[in-house]
Structure 1
Amino acid sequence: MKRVLVSSCLLGEPVRYDGGAFEPTHPVLARWLREGRVLPCCPEVAGGLPVPRPPAEIAGGADGGEVLAGRARILDPAGRDLTAPFLAGAAATLDLARAGGAVLAVLKEGSPSCGSAAIHDGAFSGVRVPGQGVAAARLRAAGIPVFSERQWEAAAACLEALES
C-alpha cells in the first residue's frame, strides 16, 4: 500500500509554531487514516525546533527552492537565522517519506517548511506570496508531489493514479 506524508499539525498534533493544531476533518484524510496510509511529519520539529517557537519566514521574498540553493535564509522576527534547522527538517522529512513509502505529501499551506503554493512574504506582515516552503521544495525536487490541505481531492486523484 502506498503511503501519504501529512503535516502533523493537520492531524491534530499541537506542533505549530504557536503550539496549535488543526482538527483532521476532511473525508479523504479520514479514509487514509482508516486505511493506515498516513505518515505524520513536522519538518520544523524534525529539524530540532521547539514547540512553541517564534514564527519564522523566508527572508527577502524568496522561497524554499532558494533556501535549498543557499541563496536565501529563514529568520525569526528578531533576525535570528533558523536556516540550518529548517534544512535539517526538510532532509529528515524526505528521509521519512522514502523510508515510509510515501508517494505524495499533503502539507500545511503558508508554512516556511510546508507551503506548497504560498508562503509569507518574509517581512512578518501577514501577507502571503506565491512560493513553496523548504520541505515542500525538497520533496518536489525528489519527485514527490506536494499538495496543500485545500487540495485533498486532487491529492486523492494523484494517489489513485499512482496506484493504478
Structure 2
Amino acid sequence: MYIVSACLLGIKTRYDGGCSCNEKLLKLAGEGKAIPVCPEQLAGCPTPRDPCEIAGSDGGDVLDGRCVVISRNGADMTEKFIKGAEETLKIAKVCGVKKAILKARSPSCGTGQIYDGTFSGKTVPGNGVTAELLIRNGIEVYSEETMEDIMAGGQPTEESAEDAINKDALSGKSP
C-alpha cells in the first residue's frame, strides 16, 4: 500500500484546480494499492488556491521553525502546511503505509527538489514539508519522476524482507 499525491491520481487537487494524472499510479489505485492524499486539502486549504513555496530553505527547516511557507500574495501558510503534513502522517500510520509517491517539486510533496521560494520556476535541492515529515518517520518517499526506483514490471512492488530472504534461500544466496 502506498500514500500517493491525489493530483497524481487524476483528482483535481492542485493549487490551480487541475491534476497531474499518472497512468501507472492510476492503475495502482485501481488495484486498491494507493491511498490518495492532498496535504493542503487535509489542512483545509481550498482548491484552487494561491501557489505557495518555501521561502529560502526546505521542508526540514519549516518543520524545525527556521523558515516559512508563503503564498504568492505573501500570506504565511506555514501552519497549514505543517497541519497537512501531520494529517498525512496520521493516515500513513493508521494504514501501515511504508512508502509514498508524491508530486515532484511541490512545497508539500516535493522530494529531492522543490521550488526556491521566488515563484520564478527555479528549483533547489530539498524536500517539501510533508515529504520531510514522512521521511523523518521512516516512510520511504519517491516522486512520480523517481518512482522507477521501486517499480518492477511497470508497477511498484512491496516485496517483504521475508519474501526477499525466501527468494535468496531458493536461489542459494545467504541472507
Is the shorter-chain TM-score for this pair beyond 0.5, marking a shared fold?
Answer: yes
Does 1:139 find its partner at 2:142?
Answer: no
1:101 counterpart = 2:99 = no
Task: For residue 102 of structure 1, give the secondary structure of its aligned residue in structure 2.
Answer: coil
Report if aligned partners of 1:17, 1:53 keep a CA contact under 8 Å in 2. yes
From 4, 7, 19, the equivalent of 1:6 is 4
Deviation at 1:31, TM superposition (A): 4.6
Bigger Cα Rg: 2
Cα deviation 1:41-98 (Å, max 9, x = unaligned):
00011011100000000002x0000000000100012211000000000000000111
Name the residue aligned to 2:43. Answer: 47
**Residue 81 (structure 2) pairs with residue 86 (structure 1):** yes
Q: TM-score, normalised by structure 2?
A: 0.85
1-side partners of 2:40 and 2:26: how far apart?
Answer: 24
What are the superposed Cα offsets for residues 14-51 of structure 1, whole Å, 9 maximum, x if unpaired? Answer: 0000001022312xx25522431101100011011100
C-alpha distance in structure 1 between counterparts of 2:151 and 2:42, whole Å: 26
Counterpart of 2:36, as a letter, is P
Count of residue correspondences = 159
For the residues of structure 2 that align with 1:56 and 1:146, how far apart are their CA atoms? Answer: 21
Q: Distance in 2 between matches of 1:162 and 1:86?
A: 32
Distance in 2 separating the partners of 1:32 and 1:132: 24
Q: 2:146 aligns with which of 120, 136, 151?
A: 151
* Deviation by residue 1:109-129 (Cα, 9 ceiling, x = unmatched): 010000011100101111011
Separation of aligned partners in 2, 1:6 and 1:99? 15
Greater CA drift, 85-94 or 35-44 = 35-44
Long gaps (5+) in structure 2: 164-175
Report the Cα distance in structure 1 between the residues aligned to 2:27 and 2:23, rounded to whole angstroms.
10
- Within 5 Å, give how 1:14-93 maps onto structure 2: 14-26=12-24, 29-60=25-56, 62-93=57-88
TM-score by length of 1: 0.91
Aligned-residue CA RMSD (Å): 1.5
Change (3 A) 1:34 1:143: same
Letter in 2 for 1:127: K
Give % identity: 46
Contact 2:9–2:29 (Cα < 8 Å) also in 1: no
CA distance in 2 between partners of 1:162 and 1:106 (Å): 18
- Would you identify which runs of 4 or more consecutive aligned residues in structure 1 move more than 2 Å? 29-35, 155-164
Distance in 2 between the 1:119 and 1:88 partners?
19
Structure 1 gaps, min length 5: none
